[in-house]
Amino acid sequence: MRRPFIAANWKMNKTVGETNDFLAQFLPEVRDVSGVDIIIAPPFTALAAASAGIKGSNIILAAQNVFHEGKGAFTGEISPSMLIDLGCRYVIIGHSERRQYFHETDEVVNKKIRISRQTGLGVILCIGETLQEREAGKTFEVLSRQLESGLTGIGHDDMVIAYEPMGDWYRKDGNP
């Protein structure tokens, strides 16, 4: 059975300075926490600062995204080995915002999982339905498709699955 975890996706929040300030306050608060993995996923621009800031702590670093190729002429993208080099142990793949705003398909999600696992990067696979799919009674159909397509040809050992519906419909106040 997988050890419990708490993961915080910072999304497009916190500059390098804000990351350093946050970690200075946060690390003492969680120093003695045990029995659970604490994972933070800062934006790409703050990964190096976060990596340096959590050295020697009980915090695990994750990235918010990865490209499905190991290297090449892919301007603006980042490979699993680059993330590992920064100190990341996990990457979030298939997040509802990536699926919704960047039109990432189950096939792309599968490619990202494959390259990440081949490189030794742990994966947090996100699944979730839209409000329209939920209202149409298709929640389990959508989740099953995302899991089956996303994990085709991939072992399930140490795989983290995170459920988050797409969009803000499940948040009463509209805030993340």
Active-site residues: which are they?
95, 164
Please state, in angstroms and rounded to a whole number, the distance separating the CA atoms of residues 35 and 26.
Answer: 18
Q: Tell me if 10 sits within 8 A of 41, measured CB to CB.
A: yes
CB 155 within 8 A of CB 125: no
For residues 27 and 54, the answer to whether their CB atoms sit within 8 Å is yes
As a whole number of angstroms, the distance between CA 101 and CA 9 comes to 17
Question: Phi and psi for 10 in degrees, rounded to 5?
Answer: -80, -10
